Amino acid sequence: MARSKSKHIRLIMRRRKQHKQRMKRRKAEAKVAGAARPAKKPAAPRKAPAAHAPAAPGPAVPAPAAPAPAAPAPAAPAPAAPGTSGFAYREWIGSVYPRGATQGQLLPMYAQRLSAVEIASSNTRVPNPELLESWATSVPPGFHFALKAPSRVSHELGAGKVMARALAPFLDALERLGDSLGPMLVQVPASVKADRRALASFLSALPEDLRVAFDFHHPSWHDDGTLRLLSEHEAALVLTDSGEGAPRLTLTADFTYLRIRRDDDRPEIIDEWAERLGLLTRRGIDVYAFIKHDRRGAAVDRAARLAALLRTESELGEQAMLS
């Protein structure tokens, strides 16, 4: 089991490195786009090799040893996106939001404090494309929306590729979010037992650039076969902290998706998660973490605390790279 998980992590890091290399190439190409390229200098003619006298007999001189390969550079710290499950709660007006705040003002205010939000309403209906587009224009660059997939997908996952195609209207609407689109959350209820063939069919039919996180509730899904399948498609396994013991940091993609559902609001809980998630961001793993909302709005403060702690972890990681 440990060897299998180690293999998963190596695969993830290799894919992460390849992705970053592709992004560097794209940035370099963008800088020279439209600019005239300087003509290449003609190659200098090669000189004919000088004639050598035959070597005198004697002991062979060993060739100089090849220089040792340079150690690979450490991965740059990855961004972290903590947030809450939802943002538009009336009971938050007067605590999270000022009194008199309108519905249209809530998201911009929320985005001033946090960099991601999990949207649950998409689980019951396809979001209005115009609404999503207005959301995208209301938040700063780097803000992400994680949306739950329709419940039909979760309950009928066994339909595989057919169900993935049925997602088309939902995915078309998500395109309106542009760069603000985060992962799609697929919650598979306890009534759905493991069917890895159907899951493979479903995953293969999804857009390659769509980040997907799976929250499996039936224990039959939690084995190496599922982990290998998720790893092959760069899909994440959702980590859930419901107060019954912190879950293991199981990685199957270049990002992780955490849901903190416990009602315990002690600062130590957030501090412990910041330490654990910091290990991932320093290895180049993107982190999405969403805290269950509460009537008082304490979830926003807890998410802001997690964001601040992870920001500090990232700064320490950058300093370590420069030292």
Q: What is the tens place of the pLDDT at every residue in 157-188? A: 766 666 777 788 999 999 999 999 999 999 99
Q: Is 143 inside any structural domain?
A: yes
Range of the domain at 202: 80-322
Share the mean pLDDT of the chain.
80
The predicted model scores a pTM of 0.76
**pLDDT on residue 175:** 95
Number of domains in the chain: 1
Pairwise pLDDT comparison (66 vs 303), residue with the higher score: 303
Distance in angstroms (rounded) separating the CA atoms of residues 2 and 208: 28
Q: Is 57 inside any structural domain?
A: no
Distance in angstroms (rounded) separating the CA atoms of residues 248 and 233: 21
Nearest to 85 by CA among 211, 238, 201: 238
Residue given tokens 């309403």 in the structure block: 121
Q: Is 21 inside any structural domain?
A: no
Residue 189 identity? P
pLDDT band at 302 (very low <50, low <70, confident <90, very high): very high
**pLDDT on residue 157:** 74
Q: Is 19 inside any structural domain?
A: no
- CA 187 from centre of chain: 17
Residue-wise pLDDT tens digits, 205-215: 899 899 999 99
CATH code of the domain covering residue 237: 3.20.20.410
Provide mean pLDDT across the span 30-40.
41
Q: Is the pLDDT of residue 88 over 70?
A: yes
Distance in angstroms (rounded) separating the CA atoms of residues 266 and 262: 10
Instruction: Tally the residues of the chain.
Output: 323
Q: Is 185 inside any structural domain?
A: yes
Q: Is 134 inside any structural domain?
A: yes
Q: Is 42 inside any structural domain?
A: no
Q: Is 54 inside any structural domain?
A: no
Q: Percent of the chain scored above 70 by pLDDT?
A: 71
**pLDDT on residue 123:** 76
Residue-wise pLDDT tens digits, 42-59: 444 444 444 444 444 444
Q: Is the pLDDT of residue 71 over 60?
A: no
